[in-house]
Amino acid sequence: IPVEPADLVIIGGTGDLARRKILPALFRRFCAGQFGTESRVIGVSRTEMDGKEYRKLTAEAIAEFSEHEGCDMGRLDDFLEMLHYVTLDAKGTTGWKALAKLVKSERIKVFYFSVGPGLFGDLAERLHKYGMADEQCRIVVEKPFGRDLKSAKELNRVLAQHFDETQIYRIDHYLGKETVQNLMAVRFGNMLFEPLWNSQYVDHIQITVAEEVGVGTRGGYYDRSGAMRDMVQNHMMQLLCLIAMEPPAKFDPHAVRDEKLKVIRALDPVKPDNIVRGQYEGNGKRPGYRNQVENRDSTTETFVAIKAHVSNWRWAGTPFYLRTGKRLKERASEIAVVFKDAPHSIFDEDAGRHRNILTIKLQPNEGIELGVTIKEPGPGGMRLVDVPLDMTFAEVLGPDDADFPDAYERLIMDVIRGNQTLFMRGDEVEAAWAWTDPVIEVWRDSRELPIAYATGSSGPDDALMLMHRDGRRWREIK
Ligand code: BG6
């Protein structure tokens, strides 16, 4: 369904995010017929350039970063026609009048702040001053939303001076991932799982977001952040919320975000022996983290494993194990809900015992798998085996339907539609920082270094111990 015509202003329009994600996402939605030629895309940045040069930059970005097949490159010129460019000084006066003249007051206006949070205040103030911050205006802000509770509160305060919460879209691109949304469909669209979705039946939950890549060229940013700020405070906690939350009364922004917030508030503070942090080393072929960020003494973590507890009626006693890291064995992200053993086995000891595991695979090979126990086929007596009921989306839906839009495509269209369900509310972000801050502070004040782990491994052995000592084990990263 096409969205209403809109003016979409990308502030930081020549930057990395715009080129890699935002512009290709818009082009793909354009090809899909959802984002029509009546809309306009206005690139804005400090760089002096004209519309023609911006169209060239965009064409190059799309050629380099647009992965999806089914996108007709023959339509690129039509898309480029929708593009405009304004040179603008976020902290000064240059360009603001020109921008105000260009955007149409009666239309939906989206201002995508694809710049560091240090500029959010200046931008918000000027959008207001130059008359663009009317009711039809929405702003999109990227993570990191602050670097701790204090700075996040300050950002929320600054934005709230000029915008209502209903106009602020805080992006966490994990919420736009197809399987992440499917998690809600599976939980709340089926009768099968929800009655079992509690500590009485669930032994534990594992959430893994493993990356094969290292920090690449983002060392400057990353060395000041680390995995806790970069991945845990946002993506991992959002996944945990969706798994643990109570059924919202409705699939709407208020109800969903209220329930997520309750989960974050129910999280126990993390005890030091329930957390492991690591940092990757190089191998002959690839440099180690410290070399990459050119900081020999860096204590920034590139891996974190946490055992978390959601202290509420539903989850008391069921641990949530989270782990994320860079330069691990494979790129593999999944959530595994591991059910308890059946209370009594009617079979002989040597039949074996198996557990049901529901695995939600985020990437790659998006899909959902339920491990069930059956009899091993053949005349060998009653021996039990585990087989997967497997819904790999590409197989079930066919390759065309499983060619999912990138998270950014979905989320940007939601902004134009005015749907905040998949965006983080201000209080949610603050509550997440309130949980991660104490951990980060302990690390900052301690002399302990992160544990070195080998490139291509599953992370430090201590992370394995985090589960072994509870008689459990991580699923293999594959
Ligand atoms: C970003 C982080 O938010 O998410 C990156 O800043 C990380 O460090 C990325 O690599 C992972 O996203 P995805 O979609 O590739 O899993």
Going by alpha carbons, the residue nearest to atom 15 of ligand 1 is 211
Quick: pLDDT tens for 421-463.
999 999 999 999 999 999 999 999 988 899 999 999 999 999 9
**Which token pair is 38?**
């009546």
- Catalytic pick from 162, 235, 344, 354? 235
Q: Which residues contact 324 (CB under 8 A, 6 or more apart)?
A: 208, 209, 210, 211, 227, 231, 232, 235, 236, 303, 304
How many angstroms does the Cα of residue 78 sit away from the middle of ligand 1? 31
Separation of alpha carbons 305 and 326, rounded Å: 12
Q: What is the mean pLDDT of residues 35-48?
A: 95
- Rounded to the nearest whole angstrom, what is the distance from the C-alpha of residue 323 to the centroid of ligand 1? 14
State ipTM: 0.99
pLDDT of 229: 96
* 235 annotated active-site: yes
Average pLDDT, the chain: 93
The label of the residue with tokens 């409705």 reads: 250
Structure tokens at 377: 């086929």
- Lowest pLDDT segment from 28-37, 187-196, 210-219, 376-385: 376-385
What are the φ and ψ backbone dihedral angles of 460, each rounded to 5 degrees? -65, 150
Q: How do residues 97-129 score in pLDDT, each as one tens digit?
A: 999 999 988 899 999 999 988 999 999 999 999
